[in-house]
Chains A and B, each alone.
Chain A
Amino acid sequence: MPMNPALEGKTYPAVALTVDPERVARFRAAFGEERDVVPPTFATVAEWAVFPGIVEDAELALDFSRVVHAAQEYEWHRPFVEGETLTVRPRIASIREKGGHGFLTVETELTDADGTIVVLARATLIERGI
């Protein structure tokens, strides 16, 4: 069953995400990063803080067991700072159907305490063989 296209544009509640030093250390270890920096794709942690609420949204009718990650885009406006708390705001940017597959694009905005954008993330998930 295809996803409900009426959910295009839907926003979900914002969540707070702290750039936790312990989590950052695990991320660095995953990529063999030896310098004292936050890997740019730490943004993925913010996306996974909000994705469960979207993929489990009954109104969306997405079968997550058929999902693979198809495309990803990041715009970094400044580096992450360890210990800071960011606001993570997701919205469904588009829902499409093509070649028997469903395509869901979620746009997630990460802003800092001043409301200034830190990262814009765009993830496209494919629901295979709908």
Chain B
Amino acid sequence: MPELRVRFADLSIGYEIHELARSVTREDVERYAGASGDRNPLHLDDDFARSVGFPGIIAHGMFTMGHLAHCLTDWLGDASALRRMNVQLRAPVFLGDVIVAGGRVKALDREARTAVLDVWVTVDRNGTVEYPIRRGEAEVRLPTE
């Protein structure tokens, strides 16, 4: 069984989790389309993606959110500690991008043993940082002190 690695007492307001980076390839996007069932041509067909104003196919927003969730569960050690997450998908992710997920504790509830984190995913495009996910929010519950 996965084991929870984070204790409530370890956390404080402003605590930052380790960022997690990954590259995004055509194979990654195709594999995610098959695994998720989201076969929107925007993610599979360059000609279609260009016809709606993108330079080529873009990654699924849920691929980006899935990477963010993976960053959180990797930190927590136990996926069941992740209770809630909401994100707005604000910028497209293109092939060749390196997406970086991160988060920072912004609220703690000692009684409920929950922490709320500000979470994000960034992409550095030639020195300009864009936010495919900005000001997302995640709630984790850490039953042990």
CA of A124 to CA of B73 in the docked complex: distance in angstroms?
A: 24
CA of A32 to CA of B2 in the docked complex: distance in angstroms?
A: 16
> What secondary structure prevails in chain B residues at the interface with A?
helix
Nearest-neighbour CB distance to chain B for A97, whole angstroms, equals 18
Nearest-neighbour CB distance to chain A for B124, whole angstroms, equals 20
Number of A-B contacts (CB under 8 A): 97
Which residue on B lies nearest to A124, using beta carbons?
Answer: B88
Cross-interface CB contact of B35 among A27, A38, A64, cutoff 8 Å: A27
What is the size, in residues, of chain A's interface with B at 8 Å between Cβ atoms? 35
What is the size, in residues, of chain B's interface with A at 8 Å between Cβ atoms? 34
State whether the Cβ of B12 lies closer than 8 Å to any Cβ in chain A.
no
Residues of B within 8 A of A61 (CB): none
Nearest-neighbour CB distance to chain A for B22, whole angstroms, equals 7
Chain A contacts with B in 62-109, Cβ cutoff 8 A: 64-76, 78-79
Nearest-neighbour CB distance to chain A for B7, whole angstroms, equals 19
A-B pairs, top 3 by smallest CB distance, nearest first, are A48-B37, A73-B86, A26-B35
List residues of B whose CB falls within 8 A of some A CB.
2, 22, 28, 31-32, 34-38, 40, 42, 48, 52, 60-63, 65-67, 69-70, 73, 79-80, 82-89
